[in-house]
Amino acid sequence: MDAIKFILNGGEVAYEGAATDRLLDVLRDCFGCKSVKCGCKEGECGACSVLIDGRLINSCCVAMGAVEGASVLTLEGYRETERFAALSKAFSELSAVQCGFCIPGMVLAAESVLAKNPHPSEAEIREGLSGNLCRCTGYNAIVNAVNNAAKEANGLW
């Protein structure tokens, strides 16, 4: 049987397991991407968000067969970028991180918003982050951080 081949954080990888296995589990258990968090396993919390071919997707709702040939980006790859540095700085400055569990998903959701719309309104940011739950109730600081990152981005997005 052929392995499932895909791009993970810029490098080609192969997965020998079943096509029905969950991308979330495979990323964490086989490829060591521990930034991808399991919050609910039913697409309701966004903690396992990754970018697949540039689209924000809940990795708990993806079977491995669906990523054959696709490019998957987790925070482990994204944190090497200048865009991540801008978001990280803004999140730090505004104390947008409390327990941190939701933050990898939040950061990738923010990237997804800014990639489509470098100058989003507050409402557009909130819509873009609406699938990512924060149980520390830190939404305002997170939204403000994304807003600041966008304002200070200097053409990064």
Partner 1 sequence: MVNGFVPKTLQEALELRATRDLVPYAGGTDLMVENRENVSYLFLGKLPELRQITVDGEYVRIGAAVTFTEALASDLVPPLMKEAVSRIAAPAIRNAGTFGGNLGNGSAKADSVLIEFVADAKLRLVSVRGERLVDVDKFYLGRKKLDLASDELIAEVLLPKRGLENYYYEKVGGRNALAISRVSFAGVFAEQDGKITNIAAAFGAVADTVLRWKEVEQMLIGKTLAEARALKADYLKAYEAHMTLTRGRVSAEYRKAVCMNLLGEFLAKFGI
Q: Which residues bind partner 1 (CB under 8 A)?
A: 1-4, 17-20, 22, 41-44, 46, 49, 55-58, 60-66, 68, 109, 112, 127-128, 130-133
Task: State the minimum distance, in angstroms, from the CB of residue 108 to partner 1.
Answer: 9
Task: State the minimum distance, in angstroms, from the CB of residue 97 to partner 1.
Answer: 20
Burial class (CB in 10 A: 0-12, 13-18, 19+), 139: middle
Residue among 141, 128, 60 nearest 100 (CA): 141
Q: Which is nearer to partner 1, 81 or 130 (CB)?
A: 130
Q: How far apart are CA 75 and CA 106, in angstroms?
A: 10
Contact status, residue 85 vs residue 121, Cβ threshold 8 Å: no
Q: Which is nearer to partner 1, 93 or 115 (CB)?
A: 115
* Backbone phi, psi, residue 11, to 5°: -115, 145
Q: Which is nearer to partner 1, 62 or 143 (CB)?
A: 62
Q: Which is nearer to partner 1, 77 or 105 (CB)?
A: 105
Task: State the minimum distance, in angstroms, from the CB of residue 39 to partner 1.
Answer: 12
- Dmax (CA) of the chain: 50
